[in-house]
Structure 1
Amino acid sequence: MSATRRLALAALALLPLRSRAGAQVEEPLADSVRSALSASIAQAAPPKPQFDDIEARLVYLRWLGEMSQRMKKRMPEGQTRIEFLQTVWYESRRAGLETSLVLGLIQVESGFRKYAISVAGARGYMQVMPFWARLIGDGHVSRLFHMQTNLRFGCVILRHYLDREKGDLFMALGRYNGSRGRAEYPDKVLACRRLWLMPGER
């Protein structure tokens, strides 16, 4: 391979990866909703799971081991993979979401790429649109590439859409993707969700 080609490939590797995911649509938020979402984003807490008993801790450790094995090809570096999974587990539960659903959504939205950017400008693992940083964050769009920030925003936004749709997951997923009412995106996420269920789960 020529030196010029190597340099070109190296330069391409530094560019943000494009995603074909959709985009949330900016909608007016009531002041009370904006305040609640801002508070939920701002509550600083590291993804350190706490358990009431040893059995709950063992269930979590079995989940972490199983998911880590499944994700090896997508995230070969062990420490990165474990930190990612711990954070997904923490943030999904914090928002009252099923962890396998969040993993399925990330698979569809970004293919587990931290620096993915869609043609609409959505960023990171959960493809959060920049306007959310202004509406409920501190306005710093670049922070949407920070792992925990991105996962927290994504989980809080999905929870918000679920609440708006009165628990209708199909419609909430469509709203998350900016394709509300169309089946293609919810069907993809729910199909990918099944790949992240533990043995015996449905």
Structure 2
Amino acid sequence: MAARGLMAALLLLASVFAHAGPTGEPEPELRALLKAAIAQSNTFQDRFDAEVWLVDMSGRIKRNIPDDKERLEFLRLVHQEADRANITPELALAVIQIESGFKRFALSSAGAQGYMQIMPFWLREIAGPEDNLFHTRTNLRMGCTILRYYLDREHGDLVKALQRYNGSYGKPQYPALVINALNKRWYRG
């Protein structure tokens, strides 16, 4: 089992080299950014786990967030805030995919804002006047915390928690979208 995990990690790292510059080496700027992101990732078990996860997820959202520095900082924050709220970062990514399509400045017709589409009343309830829902860390922290609250309230029932998160309690469409994204894009091997 450990050998399969190591092999998977090596294949993931090889995918980074497949996108390397003309000499076959990873682009120096991307290498430096990955190194910095890994060093700042204190929520991983070890450096190797950080490398594997960041490289893998970076490849999965490159089309959504093309800038290497922005993408790696975003992923580091997603992992950190998801860990803080005790949810998987992949679940947070699936919610972000469905809620905003990875658009930092997304604004819904109901007024929800940012990556995780947080309603502004939450700022009035629990945040300070300097907080902004378009600030990545603020949005991720609030979104992950709200999702954790609903998971606890629904005793771990992901479908019901997602319905509450989205304000669509009793309707299966939204949870189905998130769970489908989770299984097809974020948990795939």
- Supply the AA of the counterpart residue of 2:160: M
- The superposition leaves residues 68-119 of structure 1 with CA deviations (integer Å, 9 ceiling, x where unpaired) of 1111111110000000000001100110001111100000000000000000
| Partner of residue 41 from structure 2, selected from 34, 40, 49 | 49
| Matched positions, count | 150
Paired letter, 1:117: L
* RMSD of Structure 2 on Structure 1 (CA): 1.8
Q: Pick 1 or 2: higher relative contact order, CA cutoff 8 A, min separation 6.
A: 1
Matched ranges for 1:70-109 at <5 A:
70-109=60-99
Q: State the partner residue of 1:137.
A: 127
Tell me if structure 2 keeps the 8 A contact 1:63–1:198. no
Contact 2:44-2:50 at 8 Å conserved across structures: no
Measured after TM superposition, the shift of residue 57 of structure 1 is 2.1
Residue ranges of structure 2 left out of the alignment (5+ in a row)? 1-38
What TM-score does the superposition give when structure 1 sets the normalisation length? 0.70
Moved more, 149-158 or 56-65: 56-65
- TM-score under structure 2 length normalisation: 0.75
Q: Does 1:147 align with 2:147?
A: no
For 1:180, which of 144, 164, 169 is the aligned residue?
169
Distance 1:113 1:83 in 2: 15
Cα distance change on mapping 1:139 and 1:75 into 2, 3 Å: same
Query: CA 1:52–1:191 in 2, change beyond 3 Å: closer, same or farther?
Result: closer
Which runs of no fewer than 5 residues in structure 1 stay unpaired? 1-46
2:140 counterpart letter in structure 1: L
> Is the counterpart of residue 171 in structure 1 residue 160 in structure 2?
yes
Higher fraction of helix: 2
**Residue aligning to 1:9:** none
Q: Which runs of 4+ in 1 moved over 3 A?
A: none
